Amino acid sequence: MTKITFTFQGHAITAKTGQSLAAALTKAGHRNFRETAKSAERGMFCGMGVCQDCLVTVDGKPNVRACMSPAKDGMTVTRQVPFPAFTGSAPPPSDPLHLTPDVLVIGGGAGGLSAAIAAAKAGARVVILDERKVAGGQYYKQSADGSVLDAQQGDGADLVAAAVASGAEILSGVEIWGAFDPLLFLAQQGETPIIARPNMAIVATGAYERPVMVPGWTLPGVMTTGAAQTLWRSYGTLPGQRVAICGSGPLNLQVALELTRGGAEIVRLADRASHPATRPLAALAMAVSGPMLTLKGLKMELALRRMGVAVRSACDLTGVAKQDGALAATFQGAGGDEETVTVDALCMNAGFEPQNEILRLLGAKMHYDTKMGHLRCQTDPTMQTSVSGLYAVGDCKGLGGAPAARVEGTIAGAHAAAASGFGDAYDLHGAQRALTRHRRFQSRLWRLYDIAPRGVAALSGDTPICRCEELTLDDIQVGLDDRPGHAGTLKRATRVGMGRCQGRYCGPVVARMVAETTGKPIEDLSFFAPRVPIKPVAISAILAAQEALDGEA
């Protein structure tokens, strides 16, 4: 790949073409990307554009997400300061792009690509809107240079190629910020506004990771496990030389192995759950429902052991602190003993939250899954939601895994095309059997891990809960003392959830806190109401879309 050079805080940084700013800066040893209103340091956390914490200023333009923006030769990049001023030159306005496909697919991961292929093969005109620069989603994580790291990445490359060959049009780098009845979607691609009015829409926006909230979890160098995986699989960049991984779930095991093979030292691999060997019946049930995937997991753990990395079961993170340019991460074992390790990066994954904002904006019915601790979108056997013409597939409708997402996508794509007058309705019998197998495995898999959302009773009062508004547990508790009847009431009293990530991390915690206070069961309406714009977008983009819509009237 071609080498490029840009500056960060006056220092020359060398990067590869296609590498994200976050990857280039991390490789160069820079993890502090911005300063908050309370003078706290922040860096990359989610690695997928959700948390909005890796903001930098590029050529005088503030609010650029380093994890989603490619490094370019000659860029001048600086740490973002509170209330930054725009000092760059405003680009000329672009004419809006009007899309009227038979089937619009939102999301270019496992489910979205599968849906697009099925719909396009039926003869429908299909457009995929994908937020990332390279399709493949979080599971397949394609490399920026087109290289293939392993079989999983190769399967993803084949899926992307199949989508292209099907005739589906893939628009990358598209930020959807609005969804309105009846199936009107507003988005932005660079400086170009997009107005999409499909006949049918399939939402396949996936999920984002649930963090381990402890004192220090907002420090630069603390990131989700998926963010570390993106750095390595997409850009060949290690999150650090010494790395700790915590939370619960198979992704932590996989990324530990990938980073170790890449040259990182995993100084701690901690899982909240007890080891599966202590629960043989549950482990056997999982193995019976998915022998090949179970064998894959066993091979990963054995490979880690051969490289000197052992899983510390029933071990949890209790706090993180800065220490001489590094991080001091403290863990507590089942016996109550604490141990602190020094690392460059701390990765965390304690489950997932569906990215369901578009579905909720359009009024799709949801129900609360108490075991998984998140909302699930209700769909019929064709994957259509309670909203006519709106389908949902994959983890955005509730955690189910990539294999299930692919089957759901195929079903939804074929049925959306048929509803638009293309092809025959998809035979559900074989697909439903496959879905049942995948979902059974997922259900039994998660019984072996500890991803149920934790309460806040054990947290210290100085634990950050709302990372955007910099509110601690004590701050939120002050609002709870007035016994608000809804999370929205608490939001207005404390500003919790009013930041750039729009409550994606603090919102579920707050909903549970209010439910505990009021004694009411958690449901869809217990959460913050989704609002437009779904993600931060320039006012100029909103005005451009409004002018285009006014011109249609």
Q: Check which CATH number belongs to the domain holding 132 and give it.
A: 3.50.50.60
DSSP secondary structure code for residue 319 in this structure: E
**What is the extent of the structural domain holding 333?**
211-350
By three-state DSSP, how is residue 376 classified? strand
Angle 213-219-224 (CA atoms, 0-180°, nearest 5)?
A: 60
Residues 115 and 179 in one domain: yes
Same domain, 139 and 186: yes
| Whether 327 and 404 share a structural domain | no
User: What's residue 553's pLDDT?
Assistant: 64
Residue listed under structure tokens 């907002």: 218
User: What H or E segment, with its residue span, contains residue 62?
Assistant: strand 61-65
- Number of separate domains in the chain: 4
Token look-up 């760059």 returns 88
Does any domain span residue 451?
Answer: no
User: N- to C-terminal Cα distance for the chain?
Assistant: 48
Domain end marker among 406, 428, 450: 428
536 domain residue, yes or no? no
Side chain identity at residue 498, one-letter code: M
Report how far apart, in Å, the C-alpha atoms of 307 and of each of 244, 256, 263, 319 are. Answer: 15, 11, 11, 27
**CATH number, position 24:** 3.10.20.440
Long-range contacts of 472-479 (CB under 8 A, 24+ apart): 476/510, 476/513
Q: What is the pLDDT of residue 541?
A: 84
φ/ψ of residue 120, rounded to 5: -65, -40
Q: Which residues is 194 bridged to in the sheet?
A: 97, 187
Q: What is the predicted pLDDT for the residue at 90?
A: 72
73 with 122, same domain?
no
- Residue 454 located in a structural domain: no
The predicted structure's pLDDT at residue 89: 74
Q: Is it true that the peptide bond before 239 is cis, omega within 30 degrees of 0?
A: no
User: Do 221 and 330 have their domain in common?
Assistant: yes
**DSSP structural state of residue 39:** S
Looking at the structure, do residues 343 and 328 belong to the same domain, yes or no? Answer: yes
The pLDDT value given to residue 99: 97
Length of the chain: 553
The kind and range of the H/E element at 285 are helix 280-289
- On whether both 252 and 156 belong to a single domain, the answer is no
The answer to whether residues 374 and 294 belong to one domain is no
Q: Is the domain of 251 the same as that of 180? A: no
Residue 84 lies in a domain: no
Are 222 and 344 within one domain?
yes
Cα–Cα separations (whole angstroms), residue 427 to 204, 240, 381, 388 = 21, 48, 11, 20
User: Is 64 inside any structural domain?
Assistant: yes
Q: At 469, phi and psi to the nearest 5?
A: -90, 0
In a domain, 408, yes or no: yes
pLDDT in tens, the chain (553 residues): 689 999 999 999 999 999 999 999 999 999 999 999 999 999 999 999 999 999 999 999 999 999 999 999 999 999 999 998 888 777 777 889 999 999 999 999 999 999 999 999 999 999 999 999 999 999 999 999 889 999 999 999 999 999 999 999 999 999 999 999 999 999 999 989 999 999 999 999 999 999 999 999 999 999 999 999 999 999 999 999 999 999 999 999 999 999 999 999 999 999 999 998 899 999 999 999 999 989 999 999 999 999 999 999 999 999 999 999 999 999 999 888 999 999 999 999 999 999 999 999 999 999 999 989 999 999 999 999 999 999 999 999 999 999 999 999 999 999 999 999 998 877 778 888 999 999 999 999 999 999 999 889 999 999 999 999 999 999 999 999 988 999 999 999 999 999 999 999 999 999 999 999 999 999 999 999 998 999 888 888 888 888 888 877 6
Name the domain boundary from 11, 45, 79: 79
Co-location of 70 and 131 in the same domain: no
Q: Does 90 fall in a domain?
A: no
Helix (H, G, I), strand (E, B) or coil at 338: strand
Q: Distance of CA 414 to CAs 20, 29, 121, 122, 201, Å?
A: 35, 47, 8, 7, 12
From the number of C-beta atoms within 10 Å of its C-beta (0-12, 13-18, 19+), residue 472 rates as: middle
In this structure, what DSSP letter does residue 16 have? E
Residues 258 and 316 placed together within one structural domain of the fold: yes
44 part of a folded domain: yes
What tokens does 54 get? 């890796």
Q: Which of 304, 324, 350 is the last residue of a domain?
A: 350
C-alpha of 181 from chain center: 25
